[in-house]
């Protein structure tokens, strides 16, 4: 039989920024196996690809190249392929680029590499050493173990194991490449819930049992037990034999979360985030694809894992901006979690103490079920929130007001703990020449260099460029004329140590915590009471529970607003409310001191009064009048390239070619907030459309007719969250 008769044509999508699949020859029947993973020749190399359907072209079979299918179990669920198509259509990203989000662990499709191991063999004759007796006693259970495991569990050296194996007392065997993930036990502990928690948990359990799409806002004040409530939904998914995905906005939040999960289910979930090694990724990916990893906790990219039995998706801290990916495929994982749940036909839970306006309105309008936890769990009460007017309470050059210092002294005297929040890394955000006013800026970006005094360096927080603190000004050549302007966490620590020399102080920021392990060590130290005052950036503003933390202080609450960003007030409220929520989460009452120069601002007044829903209602009215999201549609177009003139010319030409349409306005071009970033000039256009306009179709028609110079990169951001 000829090759063309024994094979059939199929379209294969490859994980490259290409709009559609290519046609290949496959073994007979392969064209109908949507999701089947294959190895396909592309140019001079071979690449992983995925069968997307029947061949789309009419090329003669003898002119097509052949692709080789992998094992039948190495496939993507068809629902995940549908999700890729949906994300590509919505974000205007090439389908192949979205597929690349799915195939993030390509070596997971390689053949497994069994690990060498030993099992018990024939017992040697004669007297045995105590070390050898330990090994034989250990191995009497008949289990296969690797040499390092035998040595560790028996408490002997690897040489003793090797010597005993040479006698035949241990014989060679093999183990799978990876140890299997432990299966979480939904009945591991008996859970006691408050009436509100129990009602929310029952609702979520029933949604899982129905095994159909539904969306739920789990809305509870900080410390109300939202996690324990949605854990009951996870338990039900396990009982129903389905997998669960728990999305967390930042890796830092996984540290305490994993321990809480293990306390409930007897083991940790599988993890998925950017700090994992390639080997760890391969293990998790295979286990998810095979259905062996029953629960996964991960960052936004976990949304693209190949779950064959997905029965529940949870987006914790659903309001968090970290769910938005701004590079490559630009998407909001919170929104895409809802989409994947709809495609998978399973429930999705959005959990937050400060829900986004979009989610709050969906719950208010009945699109999402609204589950409320209005009180803290147990005896804990919400903290008292006080505003400190820096116009009256601050001293020149000082960043800690008298009320805040007095509060900290009280905490130290009572043996309690405090958290100080300032979302600025380093010592000072601006380095200024006192002689001529020159500001030190990055050589690659139009951004100020940030002083990191402990390292004696100036650092750009955008591209990572750093240099020594200059001895003289590059503009006027004045010597030792540079002065720091504004506070960073290091400067606050310096002032704090001068005022409270006996306090045990630590900083938590991405500069001091290089990995999740560093975060774990710091949080464990704080939890043991070895730190009195923790100064942190946004990395510690949410998700953490410390029973002895009774005072939270916000150093500068006026840093949140960004011109042109319709969500700036909402974001400020969210982060400050989350910081406040760290205080008083156990028996001891908590207090929050918010330093501000604008105490009459609606955000500050909403925080003080606790009138969150009234604040959101006002935000909704303001945005509705302006036609801003969620009452209108926005799309940002960002052009960037090394040649500034070409970027500006391309941006002007693009704006001039915008189609005229009722209900659509195109603003710009204008320089981006950071006009130069990582050596590339940046220009922005903003498309604003009425809510009923299909903004994606408008952009497809417009951009499809344009030819952007190859040296200029165009990024499309549907529903932008950042305006930098």
Query: Over 60: is that where the pLDDT of 617 sits?
Result: yes
Helices 78-91 + 95-102 axis angle, to 10:
130
Return all residues near 482 (Cβ < 8 A) that are at least 6 apart.
Answer: 431, 432, 433, 434, 440, 469, 470, 473
Question: Which residue is associated with the tokens 């601050």?
Answer: 394
pLDDT in tens, 680-724: 899 999 999 999 999 999 999 999 888 999 999 999 999 998 776
Structure tokens at 253: 């939040």
* Residue 4 binned pLDDT confidence (cut-offs 50, 70, 90): very low
Calpha distance 721→69 (Å, rounded): 40
Query: Over 80: is that where the pLDDT of 616 sits?
Result: yes
The pLDDT score that the predictor gives to residue 435 is 83
The pLDDT score that the predictor gives to residue 2 is 41
The pLDDT score that the predictor gives to residue 293 is 96
pLDDT in tens, 145-162: 999 999 999 999 999 999
* Residue 361 binned pLDDT confidence (cut-offs 50, 70, 90): very high
Query: Over 50: is that where the pLDDT of 542 sits?
Result: yes
Calpha distance 224→196 (Å, rounded): 9
Partners of 115 in the β-ladder: 175
% of the chain at pLDDT higher than 70:
96
Query: Over 80: is that where the pLDDT of 456 sits?
Result: no
Under DSSP, is residue 336 helix (H, G, I), strand (E, B) or coil?
A: helix
The pLDDT score that the predictor gives to residue 561 is 53
Query: Over 50: is that where the pLDDT of 5 sits?
Result: no
Calpha distance 645→163 (Å, rounded): 72
Structure tokens at 324: 């938005």
Which of 272-276, 306-310, 601-605, 674-678 comes out lowest in average pLDDT? 674-678
The pLDDT score that the predictor gives to residue 1 is 37
| 27 vs 273, more confident | 273
Calpha distance 621→534 (Å, rounded): 38
Helices and strands (DSSP H and E) totals, the chain: 21, 31
Query: Over 80: is that where the pLDDT of 455 sits?
Result: no
Under DSSP, is residue 414 helix (H, G, I), strand (E, B) or coil?
A: coil
Which of 93-102, 190-199, 253-262 comes out lowest in average pLDDT? 253-262
What single string gives the DSSP state of each residue in 542-578? SS---TTEEEEEES-GGG---TT-TTHHHHHHHHHHH
pLDDT in tens, 583-600: 777 678 888 999 998 899
Query: Over 50: is that where the pLDDT of 118 sits?
Result: yes
The pLDDT score that the predictor gives to residue 487 is 81
What are the start-end ranges of the H helices in 242-308? 254-265, 278-289
Which of 40-44, 185-189, 375-379 comes out lowest in average pLDDT? 375-379
Calpha distance 372→389 (Å, rounded): 33
Give me the chain's average pLDDT, please. 88
* Residue 31 binned pLDDT confidence (cut-offs 50, 70, 90): low
With a threshold of 0.75, does the pTM exceed it? yes
* Residue 347 binned pLDDT confidence (cut-offs 50, 70, 90): very high
Residue 535 φ then ψ, to 5°: -100, 120
Which of 88-102, 313-327, 553-567 comes out lowest in average pLDDT? 553-567
Query: Over 60: is that where the pLDDT of 49 sits?
Result: yes
> What mean pLDDT is predicted for residues 32-61?
86
* Residue 3 binned pLDDT confidence (cut-offs 50, 70, 90): very low
* Residue 412 binned pLDDT confidence (cut-offs 50, 70, 90): very high
Query: Over 70: is that where the pLDDT of 563 sits?
Result: no
Under DSSP, is residue 396 helix (H, G, I), strand (E, B) or coil?
A: coil
Query: Over 60: is that where the pLDDT of 50 sits?
Result: yes
Query: Over 60: is that where the pLDDT of 6 sits?
Result: no
Residue 277 φ then ψ, to 5°: -75, 165
pLDDT in tens, 97-116: 999 999 999 988 888 888 89
Calpha distance 293→291 (Å, rounded): 6
The pLDDT score that the predictor gives to residue 32 is 65
């Amino acid at each position: 039989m000829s090759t063309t008769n024994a094979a059939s044509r199929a379209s294969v999508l490859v994980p490259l920024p290409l709009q559609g699949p290519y046609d290949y020859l496959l073994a007979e029947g392969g064209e109908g196996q949507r999701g089947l993973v294959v190895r396909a020749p592309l140019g001079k190399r071979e690449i992983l690809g995925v069968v997307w359907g029947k061949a789309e072209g009419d090329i003669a079979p003898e002119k097509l190249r052949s692709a080789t299918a992998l094992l039948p179990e190495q496939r993507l669920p068809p629902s995940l392929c549908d999700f890729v198509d949906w994300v590509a259509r919505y974000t205007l990203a090439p389908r192949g680029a979205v597929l690349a989000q799915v195939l993030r662990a390509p070596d997971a499709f390689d053949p497994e590499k069994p690990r060498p191991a030993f099992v018990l063999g024939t017992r040697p004759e004669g007297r045995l050493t105590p070390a050898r007796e330990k090994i034989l006693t250990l191995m009497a259970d008949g289990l296969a173990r690797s040499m390092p495991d035998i040595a560790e569990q028996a408490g002997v050296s690897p040489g003793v194991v090797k010597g005993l194996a040479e006698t035949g007392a241990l014989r060679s065997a093999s183990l799978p490449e990876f140890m299997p993930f432990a299966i979480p036990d939904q009945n591991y502990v008996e859970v006691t819930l408050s009436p509100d928690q129990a009602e929310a948990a029952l609702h979520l359990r029933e949604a899982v049992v129905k095994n159909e799409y539904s969306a739920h806002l789990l809305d509870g004040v900080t410390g109300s037990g939202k996690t324990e409530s949605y854990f009951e939904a996870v338990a039900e998914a396990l009982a129903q034999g389905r997998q669960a995905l728990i999305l967390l906005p930042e890796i830092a939040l996984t540290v305490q979360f994993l321990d809480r999960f293990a306390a409930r289910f007897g083991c940790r979930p599988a993890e998925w985030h950017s700090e994992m090694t390639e080997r760890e990724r391969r293990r998790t990916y295979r286990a998810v694809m095979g259905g062996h990893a029953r629960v996964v906790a991960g960052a936004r990219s976990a949304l693209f894992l190949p779950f064959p039995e997905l029965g529940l998706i949870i987006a914790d801290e659903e309001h968090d901006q970290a769910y938005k990916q701004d590079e490559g495929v630009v998407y909001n994982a919170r929104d895409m979690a809802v989409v994947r749940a709809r495609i998978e036909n399973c429930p999705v839970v959005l959990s937050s103490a400060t829900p986004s306006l979009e989610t709050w309105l969906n719950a208010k309008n009945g699109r999402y079920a609204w589950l409320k936890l209005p009180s803290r769990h147990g005896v804990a009460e919400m903290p008292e929130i006080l505003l400190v007017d820096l116009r009256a309470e601050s001293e020149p050059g000082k960043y800690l007001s008298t009320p805040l210092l007095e509060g900290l002294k009280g905490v130290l005297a009572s043996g309690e703990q405090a958290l100080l929040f300032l979302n600025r890394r380093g010592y000072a955000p601006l380095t200024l020449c006192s002689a001529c006013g020159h500001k030190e800026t990055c050589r690659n970006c139009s951004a100020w260099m940030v002083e990191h005094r402990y390292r004696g360096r100036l650092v750009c927080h955008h591209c990572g460029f750093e240099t020594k603190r200059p001895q003289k000004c590059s503009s006027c050549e004045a010597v030792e004329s540079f002065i720091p302007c504004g506070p960073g966490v290091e400067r606050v620590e310096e002032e704090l140590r001068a005022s409270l020399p006996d306090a045990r102080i630590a900083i938590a920021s991405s500069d001091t915590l290089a990995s999740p392990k560093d975060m774990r060590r710091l949080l464990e130290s704080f939890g043991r009471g070895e730190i009195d005052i923790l100064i942190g950036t946004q990395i510690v503003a949410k998700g953490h529970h410390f029973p002895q933390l009774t005072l939270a202080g916000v150093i500068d609450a006026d840093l949140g607003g960004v011109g042109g960003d319709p969500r700036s007030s909402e974001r400020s409220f969210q982060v400050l409310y989350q910081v406040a929520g760290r205080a008083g989460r156990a028996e001891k009452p908590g207090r929050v001191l918010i330093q501000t120069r604008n105490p009459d601002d609606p955000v500050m007044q909403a925080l003080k009064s606790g009138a969150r829903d009234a604040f959101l209602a006002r935000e909704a009215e303001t945005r509705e009048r302006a036609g801003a999201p969620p009452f209108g549609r926005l799309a940002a177009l960002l052009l960037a390239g090394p040649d500034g003139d070409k970027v500006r010319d391309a941006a002007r030409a693009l704006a001039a070619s915008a189609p005229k349409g009722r209900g659509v306005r195109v603003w710009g071009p204008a320089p981006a907030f950071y006009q130069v970033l990582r050596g590339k000039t940046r220009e922005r256009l903003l498309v604003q459309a009425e809510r009923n306009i299909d903004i994606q179709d408008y952009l497809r028609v417009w951009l499809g007719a344009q030819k952007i110079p190859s040296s200029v990169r165009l990024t499309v951001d549907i529903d932008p969250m950042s305006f930098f």
